[in-house]
Structure 1
C-alpha cells in the first residue's frame, strides 16, 4: 500500500465517521423530540437534530472539497 492509498483510506474513514456521528446526533435529537429521551427539553432535541443534519450533509462535502486533488 502506497502512502497515497493510506491517505485516501484515512480520509474516507474520517468522512464516514463524520456521517455516522451526524446520523447518531439526528437519532438522539429525534428521540428527545418524540418522547423526551434522556429527560432533556425539546429545544435540545431540535438543536441536536440540526447539528446532526449539518454534520451528516455539510461536513463531508467540506472535507472532500478541502482534500480534493488539485487539477493540473
Structure 2
C-alpha cells in the first residue's frame, strides 16, 4: 500500500506544477505579444495568455475537487 503522506505530497506538487506551467505559458504569450510585429503572432500570443490564465484558474481546482477526501460516514 502507498504511503498517504507521499500521496498528499505528490498531489500538492502536481497542483503546484500546473500553476507554474500556466504562469510560464502566460509569460511566453506576453513575450510573444511584445516582440511580434505582425498581427497573427499577436493573436496567437493573446490566445496563449488567455488559455494559460484559464488553466491557472480551472485545472488546480478541478484536481483538488477530484482528489478531495470523501466525507467519513
> Which category describes the TM-score, using the shorter chain as reference length?
0.7 to 0.9
Deviating 4+ runs (over 6 angstroms): none
2 CA distance for matches of 1:8 and 1:54?
A: 24
TM-score, length basis structure 2: 0.85
Which of the two has higher C-alpha Rg? 2
1 CA distance for matches of 2:54 and 2:17?
A: 14
TM-score, length basis structure 1: 0.86
Superposition CA RMSD, Å: 1.7
Find the counterpart in structure 2 of residue 54 from structure 1. Answer: 54
Residues 1:21 and 2:56 aligned together: no
**How many residue pairs end up in the alignment?**
69
1:7-58 residue CA offsets vs partner (Å, 9 max, x unmatched):
000001100110000000000111111222xxx7111101110121011111
- State the secondary structure of the residue aligned to 1:68: coil
Structure 1 portions without partners, runs of 5+: none
- State the secondary structure of the residue aligned to 2:70: coil
